[in-house]
Chains A and B, each alone.
Chain A
Amino acid sequence: MILFFVPAIILCTQINAQKYKTTEGHIEIFSQTPVFTIEGMDKKVASIINFDNGEIVATTLVRSFKFREALVEDHFNENYMESEKYPKSSFKGMIMNYKEVNLNKNGEYKITIKGELTIHGTTNPIEVSGIITVKDGNINGKSEFSVSLAAYKIHVEEMYKDAIKDEIKLTINFDYLPLNK
């Protein structure tokens, strides 16, 4: 009898696992100096949050970043991100206070995320804050933070140091849907 129930319980928890997914997340990168403004947009970011344990993963293809200027896009891929060698950027971490997010109640929840960010083949620990908005069963995640190019071994030539800041601002905006729906 017990042998029958144990697998049944495991199966039930799997079905009820509170996982949310997006494959159309947005990441905007921004850098402004008196010389040059860089604005890039990536609308193809995949992410999954598991609210059973707070795990969050996000990944994107470097080549999905689009810039207004074609030349900036070429330089971004070839000189800085080296997308041929490092096709992906990814994040893996935990929402530290995931238990405070009530998925059944519409509202905004402040969260803290800790994890590891991999860009340009280099991984660094990061801690960022964000906001999760629950609305009628769907969730949106937003966050804003900066990364240092040097920390990810992204080399900026001396002659462009005035045009490109070391601190690049990232704006995250993900619309998640419940998984298996």
Chain B
Amino acid sequence: MNKYVKIILIIIIVGIVCGGGGIIYVFFKPHRNLAKEKPSFTLTASELLKQFGAREDSAYKVYGDKALQVNGKIADITKKGNDITFVLEDQNSGVSCSFDSTYCVVNKAIIDGLKSGDEVNLKGKCDGYDPIMGVVLTRCVLVEKK
């Protein structure tokens, strides 16, 4: 009898550990950190726009979900609370680079110091392209200001 109690206890403990591990994995798996990720491609904002403009489907296959490092001139800045977006090169349909709000809070001083016309180097995750928005990069981090 004692033996069975032991086995049952072991099963329960293993169950708790595995289940707990699973829950921890689901809730605490970290998001991609673009600051630490090596870019899959490094290119200029104009080059990226040109490729998506010419062949959206094939460009999406190449760049979709990849970490891109782009270089370009800020054409427009939109601020909405702690969400900040830089649009590079073309104000109407350029490369739209959004920072996470936590990133904006931590790096407020640097981001607030940037203005239209500045040339920047950014890293972000490519979500795709739309004629109204242009190429969309999210989870962006600033690499450097030229």
Contact = CB atoms under 8 A, between A and B. Distances in A.
B146 to A, nearest CB: 25
Interface in A91-133: none
A88 interface: yes
Contact of B138 (A64, A72, A83): A64
Contact of A73 (B31, B60, B83): B31
Interface stretch (B5-13, B105-113, B127-135): B127-135
Interface string B103-146: 00000000000000000000001011110110010100000000
Contacts of A73: 31
A60 B130 CA distance: 8
Contact of B132 (A48, A72, A87, A175): A48
A137 B76 CA distance: 21
Contacts of B40: none
B98 interface: yes
Interface string A60-102: 1111101001111100010000011001100000000000000
Given A69-B26, A71-B25, A44 B138 contact: yes
B96 A87 contact: no
B83 A71 contact: no
A140 interface: no
B125 A63 contact: yes
A2 to B, nearest CB: 34
A59 interface: yes
Contacts of B31: 70, 73
Contacts of B129: 61
Contacts of A62: 127-128
Nearest to B101: A43
B32 interface: yes
Contacts of B78: 23-24
A69 B127 contact: no
A70 B80 contact: no
A84 B30 contact: no
Given A44-B96, A63-B64, A69-B26, A87 B83 contact: no
B65 interface: yes
Given A44-B98, A46-B132, A24 B32 contact: no
A71 B26 contact: yes
Contact of B127 (A24, A63, A70, A71): A63
A46 B133 contact: yes
Nearest to A84: B64
B25 A59 contact: no
11 contacts: A21-B132, A43-B98, A44-B127, A46-B133, A61-B130, A61-B133, A63-B127, A66-B138, A69-B26, A71-B26, A84-B64
Interface of B: 25-27, 29-32, 60, 64-65, 78, 80, 83, 85, 96, 98, 125, 127-130, 132-133, 136, 138
Interface of A: 21, 23-24, 43-44, 46-48, 59-64, 66, 69-73, 77, 83-84, 87-88, 175
